[in-house]
Every structure is written in C-alpha cells, then in structure tokens.
Amino acid sequence: MNWTLEVIIVPVSDVDRARAFYEKQLGFNVDHDTRVNEAMRIVQLTPPGSGCSIVIGTGIPMTDGAIKGLQLVVNDIRKAHAQLTANGVDVSEIIRMGENRPDFEGDELDFIGFIYFSDPDGNEWTVQQISSRP
C-alpha cells in the first residue's frame, strides 16, 4: 500500500496576498478557491509537476508563519533562483551543503545545492536541486 503526502496546510494572515504570492511569484497552479461558509475559505495550490499541494485559507486553526522547512525540489537550482529573483521573491544566494560523492557524475550542485525564502507570513521554504538520481 502506498501512502502519499498530497496536501500541506500553510497558515497565512491574508489569503489574497498569499494566493498572489504563490500563484504569481512562485508559479503554483490554483486548483480551487472555495468559500465553504462565511468563516471558511480554502485555496489549494500545487507547484508545477508536484503530487503534493498546499492549502491556505481562513477558518483553519493555525498560527500564521508557523511552518518551517517546507521543501521543493527542482532540476536546476540556478534557473529556479533566477526565476524567483525575477518574480520579486527575496531569495538567498545558492548555498552548497557539502560535496557530492567522488563517483557521482551528475551536476555539481545535485543534492547539495539549496536556496531559501519565506512567504509574506514568514513560512520558510527550502529549494534543493536534484537533476538526476544515482
């Protein structure tokens, strides 16, 4: 039996601002934006190519900015960094975390290349490069 992680709730203080950040600046697809009732709104967004979505909204009991260490994986960290920068995201420089194994023949940043950013509510994201797997 497979157990797949498909949704992560990301607490935000302003749903429209957060939706704009994830949709316009990060390029996430808006799966739905549903008003359940007067107190609850659920917006589900999915990163391109991902099997896991995030949910933001109102009426969801969490503290804004409480999520730390959400991680995305891309096949080209340099391209991802350039895209985020062009979209106005305050993103770290590319950081190398160690060295690849001597016998690894992929890109020199595979597995060890990372960038970091936060959404407008302070939820922290990591992006790691994995362009090929041994």
Residues 88-101: tens digit of each pLDDT: 999 999 999 988 77
pLDDT given for residue 65 in this prediction? 80
pLDDT number for residue 20:
98
pLDDT, residue 5, reads 85
User: Dihedral sign, CA of 13, 15, 19, 20?
Assistant: negative
In percent, how much of the chain has pLDDT > 90?
Answer: 78
pLDDT at 120 > cutoff 90: yes
pLDDT at 1 over 60: no
Domains of the chain: 7-129 (3.10.180.10)
* 72 closest CA partner among 115, 19, 15: 115
